Amino acid sequence: MTLLACTDFDAGYARSAPCVRGLNIGVEEGEVVALLGPNGAGKTTLLMSMSGLLPSLGGSVSVAGKTLTSGKPRAAVRAGVVLVPDDRALFRRLTTEKNLRLAIRERGRSSARKSLEHVLQYFPALTPRLGVAAGQLSGGEQQMLAIARALLQQPRVLLIDELSMGLAPVVVQSILPVLRDVAASNGTAVVLVEQHVRLALEVSDRAIVLVHGQVRLTDDSSALARDVGRIERAYLGGAE
């Protein structure tokens, strides 16, 4: 089942030419897709538009066949689209626990407690840090917190922008399997923007290479991992 679909989708900023043009992509239920591309390819703009933080400039985004209202982030969240932005968007003065509880404030107390306990099983390193202000966490702990907060919103579609930014590869390797588990266990469609190509290919089912706002290459991650040169050629403007 195609859970997330972009159809003839244009993304960018008002009063400027689209930086993503005529995009047609789909992400299946339980699938992890790595969105790759050089700086300036339009990856962040695309995620912001899909999550409603930017109005689209054309085309549509749908979740399970239902078209999302452009530029309405709350509507996107209600439809199950949750974005982890590249700056993590944490409340730095609030404790780790309070950051997490903000994501589940509308649920009953018992349900919220169970949800919190479940998410902390993915990131046990956060448990002894629940009373620590988010701004005092390490970079890896902050990324774990940002993803844990997103998971508490029970996303159908999880968008993660630049997961590894500022993190050591060993930290990234400890976080990536969580995304694979979430997709497999919950049927969540995951779109991961990542600069570390090989790490992204290890965890994803499929990769899409975006160059100058257009899809230049797409294939199974396992096939691309065997010939990373295809991605390098796509970055440089080659086409298959």
CA-derived radius of gyration, the chain = 17
**pLDDT score for 213:** 93
Q: What is the pTM of this model?
A: 0.93
Structural tokens at position 178: 């969580």
**pLDDT score for 105:** 61
> What domains are defined for the chain?
2-80+155-235 (3.40.50.300), 92-154 (no CATH)
Nearest alpha carbon to residue 171 among 125, 102, 238, 240: 125
Question: How does residue 126 score in pLDDT terms, banded at 50, 70 and 90?
Answer: very high
pLDDT at residue 108 greater than cutoff 50? no
At CA 45, angle to CA 41 and CA 48, rounded to 5? 150
pLDDT at residue 221 greater than cutoff 70? yes
The pLDDT tens digits for 8-55 are: 999 999 877 889 999 999 999 999 999 999 988 999 999 999 999 999
pLDDT at residue 150 greater than cutoff 70? yes
Q: Do β-strands 58-63 and 32-36 pair in parallel, antiparallel, or remain unpaired?
A: unpaired
Report how far residue 8's alpha carbon sits from residue 24's, in angstroms, rounded to the nearest whole number.
Answer: 6
**pLDDT score for 238:** 52
pLDDT at residue 239 greater than cutoff 80? no
Q: How many CA atoms lie within 13 A of 41 on its CB side?
A: 23
**pLDDT score for 106:** 52
pLDDT at residue 176 greater than cutoff 60? yes
What is the mean pLDDT of the segment spanning 122-135? 96
